[in-house]
Amino acid sequence: MAGKPNYFDEMLGHNGQARAPYADYCDWFNGEDTARLLEKSEEAEALFRLIGVTFNVYGDPDATERLIPFDLVPRIIAAREWAKVAKGIEQRVRALNAFLHDIYHRQEIIRAGRLPAEMIARNDAFLPQMIGVSPPGDIYTHIVGTDLVRTGDDEFFVLEDNARTPSGVSYMLENRETMLHMFPELFSKIKVQSVSQYPRNLRRSLAACAPNACLGKPTLAVLTPGIHNSAYYEHAFIADQMNAELVEGHDLRVIDGRVAMRTTRGYKPIDVLYRRVDDDYLDPLNFNPDSMLGVPGIMDVYRAGGITIANAPGTGIADDKAIYSYMPDIVEFYTGEKAILKNVPTHRCSEPEALKYVLDNLADLVVKEVHGSGGYGMLVGPASSKKEIAAFRAKLEANPGNYIAQPTLALSTVPILTDAGLAPRHVDLRPFVLVSPDRIEITPGGLTRVALTDGSLVVNSSQGGGTKDTWVLEE
Amino acid sequence: MLGKTAGGLFWMFRYLERAENTARMIDAGLRISLTRSSAAESEWTSILSSTGLRDSYTAAHGAPDGPKIIDFLLRDPNNPGSIMAGIEEARMNARVVRTALTREVWEAVNECYMVLKKILAHPVQDRELPRVLQVIRQRSAFVRGALHGSMVRNHMYNFARIGTFFERADNTARILDQKYYILLPSVRLVGSPSDNVQWETILRATSTTRAYQTLHDGDFDPRAIAQFLILDGRLPRSLAFCYAKIGENLGFISREYDHPQTCDALAESLCAKFRAHDMNAIFDYGLHEFIGDFLRDSTTLGRQIEIDYRFIE
């Protein structure tokens, strides 16, 4: 690519002057000693280790527990900026739920010719077992993490919808706790909207979707694949914070049409199961027969209204990157409004013309697998060698339907603290959304992920990215 | 509470207690080898037997050798019974039951793990050993302290306590099982000076030397030592004390659940034995047989607790 693109820096804008949301923070920062802040940085790391905010790395037995690096310069968003983003997310999540209901029922969107039938019929993430099933309260996506990127003052794009099992909310909460612990004076000076209500809201939101079989106060549980899962810390954290049991498949069994957990006093039915196990592993009788992580027969209980599973099985189809490319149509179809948040222009490699364009421009594009996540199996053209591009080209040509391509966005930057002072790094944002029959709640802010390497656009923690506390200012 | 969680709490505290006890035994062995090197080899052998690791040590290293045994018990990655392995197990159980623990307890056990992982990363130098053993005992005590200071007194606390006392009684009984012959009344008549050291070793391995001396005016007497470790209700490491606590904690749980269990009756019959017997009766019955019965009964009780409270399916 020719020349260095002019990235939008959220602290300094395009002209190097502190933007309004950062004014108070910059005042404070300028009065601070960098050496003291670097010490604080180490203090934060020790704190994270002690609390055990770690993640496991697959296929790396020697480093089973790692920290996600935490940068202590917050990412700051003005109330006005946030209001618009939140409105756009709400609209999108509403549309996603309606879409999921539709494709598992009458498929009006296909009948109307707005979405090709093969997008659903030939999609592995579409679960035929969900056809005709209406989850309690008609909610499919109880918990959503909409990934956003910013390219300018008023330019936000949705990168991914993450309607299946978004992770990272524990980092949002622990990052804030850590900042409050380390810089109490900042929070008395700058009024930041709270995030700590999230676990309570999650509990209420899930309880509001209790199944018909639930007679009294709903019993909630979080289903984890176990302590070796990369996100185990988060599973335990969420269960702890919302006062639910943390269960594994072997704690559960189907008894009298309910899914029950083995307690010290016998089996007790669960009403709402917040599962952090993928569809495939949820039920060996209905899906992958080799799964040891799920509960044999849970899908039958689910279909009979004996338990609520959050998020609903089959929501993964909304995370499909080919479906993503239709999101502007999907939003318009179900809400009757233009999408407030923009989609990144997406080339579907299944289409011959698009494929030709992508193959001709590989060096400038980001190419992703339609079912991929976590930054695995993707090509970032501008950051790849000729050899890497050639290897990827072969994979793409062998199975074009498996890929989509997008232009490389000029992701905004926010400074991180380095030994040499502040230095800009690219960021994205994952706000966390809770959906219940009577409301959609979006926690102000979310998880900011930051690429720690200068110039890198890959923010995924599995690829060496870090996180920041995200502040949405009070009005 | 999940059955798995009850089991996790029980085992977390068993493993912590076990690591701490192994540190006490190393301390006793070290003392002997420093003060009476001729007796060292048989002492190390008896310590290996008390920890139940004699066979696996012999298979890996052959003849007893102080430094090798110390490393084996402290940190040998091939020894699942090492102190480090025990602390790792305790922490793994703590992660499984994280939602049942207060943040204080979790952080104490996590920090215990992090500190020991560091100081046991390499073989411990002789001159560092006393300090390392002290850190192990201290870190384990911190976890116990956090439990006392921060946990609600309900079934979760009770299962943690049962794990501690179960392991502690087991440990005291295993030491007695190895050493019963020097505590027999006939030994007093023989009165050889070596026995004095042996008696001290027993007390040292249970960290009860000072307590014993306070209560017995410094007189080493085998009957009094046996009485002290088996029946003395004032000593927190005696069998009678530990079982009174186990009975008490099981009682709290069954009252909380309003449902008496088979394990309650088993624990009560063990407690009753300690109440009903004095040392004369135990010696008449046979000290070795009494300890053997106890170890069998406690294994049965452990299994019954596991069944009654559904630790596993």
Of A306, A325, A286, residue with least CA distance to A128: A286
Q: In a structure prediction context, what are the per-residue pLDDT tens digits for chain B, which is 313 residues long?
A: 999 999 999 999 999 999 999 999 999 999 888 887 777 888 899 899 999 999 999 999 999 999 999 999 999 999 999 999 999 999 999 999 999 999 999 999 999 999 999 999 999 998 999 999 999 999 999 999 999 999 999 999 999 999 999 999 999 999 999 888 888 877 655 556 556 777 888 999 999 999 999 998 877 888 899 999 999 999 999 999 999 999 999 999 999 999 999 999 999 999 999 999 999 999 999 999 999 999 999 999 999 999 999 999 8
How far off is chain B from A270, nearest CA to CA, in Å? 12
- Say what the pLDDT of residue B21 is: 95
Lowest mean pLDDT among A92-106, A173-187, B33-47, B184-198: B184-198
Residue B110, chain A, CB below 8 Å: the answer is yes
Q: Which residue has the higher pLDDT, A15 or A296?
A: A296
Interchain contact, A251 vs B4, CB within 8 Å: yes
Q: What is the pLDDT of residue A15?
A: 80
Smallest Cα distance from B241 to chain A, Å: 26
Q: What is the value of pTM for the model shown?
A: 0.92
Q: Is the pLDDT of residue A126 over 60?
A: yes
Tens-digit pLDDT profile for residues A24-33: 999 999 999 9
Nearest-by-CA chain B residue for A227: B96
For residue A1, what pLDDT is reported? 35
pLDDT at residue A123, as a whole number: 85
pLDDT in the model for residue B193:
57
Lowest-pLDDT range of A80-89, A331-340, A378-387, B67-76: A378-387
Q: What is the pLDDT of residue A14?
A: 80
How many other CB atoms are found less than 10 A from the CB of residue A150?
24
Rounded mean pLDDT of chain A?
A: 92
Average pLDDT over residues A364-384: 82
How many angstroms separate the most distant Cα atoms in chain B? Answer: 57
Q: Phi-psi region for residue A445, left (φ > 0), alpha (ψ -120 to 50) or beta?
A: left
Joined together, the tokens standing for residue B266 give 């088993």
B65 touches chain A (CB under 8 A): no
| B275 inside 8 A of chain A by CB | no
From chain B, pick out residues whose CB is under 8 angstroms from the CB of A247.
2
**Distance between CA atoms of A470 and A448, rounded to whole angstroms?**
6
Bigger pLDDT: B291 or A54?
A: B291
Burial of B312 (0-12, 13-18, 19+ CB in 10 A): exposed
Chain A residues close to B103, C-beta within 8 Å = 51
Phi and psi angles of residue A159, each rounded to the nearest 5 degrees, phi first: -95, -40
What span, in angstroms and rounded, lies between the C-alpha atoms of B60 and A297?
A: 47
> Tell me, what's the pLDDT at B194?
57
Q: Omega into A311 within 30° of 0, i.e. cis? A: yes
Q: What is the mean pLDDT of residues A189-215?
A: 96
Contact residues on chain A for B313, CB-CB shorter than 8 A: 250, 262
* ipTM field: 0.90
Q: From CA B277, how far away is CA B259, in angstroms rounded?
A: 30
pLDDT band at A81 (very low <50, low <70, confident <90, very high): very high
Q: In whole angstroms, what separates CA A358 from the centre of its chain?
A: 27
Q: Which residues of B touch A260 (CB under 8 A)?
A: none
A239 contacts in chain B (CB < 8 Å): 99
Give a three-class secondary structure readout of chain B.
CEHHHHHHHHHHHHHHHHHHHHHHHHHHHHHHHHHCHHHHHHHHHHHHHHCCCHHHHHHHHCCCCHHHHHHHHHCCCCCCCCHHHHHHHHHHHHHHCHHHCCHHHHHHHHHHHHHHHHHCCCCCCHHHHHHHHHHHHHHHHHHHHHHHHHCCCCHHHHHHHHHHHHHHHHHHHHHHHHHHHHHCHHHHHHCCHHHHHHHHHHHHHCCCHHHHHHHHCCCCCHHHHHHHHHCCCCCCCCHHHHHHHHHHHHHHHHHHHCCCCHHHHHHHHHHHHHHHCCHHHHHHHCHHHHHHHHHHHHHHHHHHHHHHCCCCC
Closest by Cβ to A262, choosing from B2, B103, B114: B2
Task: Specify burial of residue B207 (Cβ count, 10 A radius: 0-12, 13-18, 19+).
Answer: middle
Going by pLDDT thresholds of 50, 70 and 90, the confidence category of residue A2 is: very low
Mean pLDDT on A349-359:
93
CB contact, 8 Å: B188 with chain A? no
Nearest CB to B99 within list A240, A261, A262 = A240
- Look at residue A160 and tell me whether its pLDDT is greater than 60: yes
Using the Cβ of B103 and the Cβ atoms of chain A, whether some distance falls under 8 Å is answered with yes
Work out how many CB contacts closer than 8 A connect A with B: 57
The reply to whether residue B309 touches residue A264, judged by beta carbons under 8 angstroms, is yes
First to last CA, chain B: 15
Rounded Cα gap, residues A181 and A204, in angstroms:
27
Residue B3 has its nearest CB partner, among A232, A240, A263, at A263
pLDDT score for A6: 76
Give me the mean pLDDT over the A271-291 stretch. 92
Q: Among A32-36, A39-43, A122-126, B291-295, where is mean pLDDT lowest?
A: A122-126
Structure tokens of A266?
A: 């016998």
Given this model, what pLDDT does residue A57 score?
A: 67
Q: Give the confidence band of A371 by pLDDT, cuts at 50, 70, 90.
A: confident
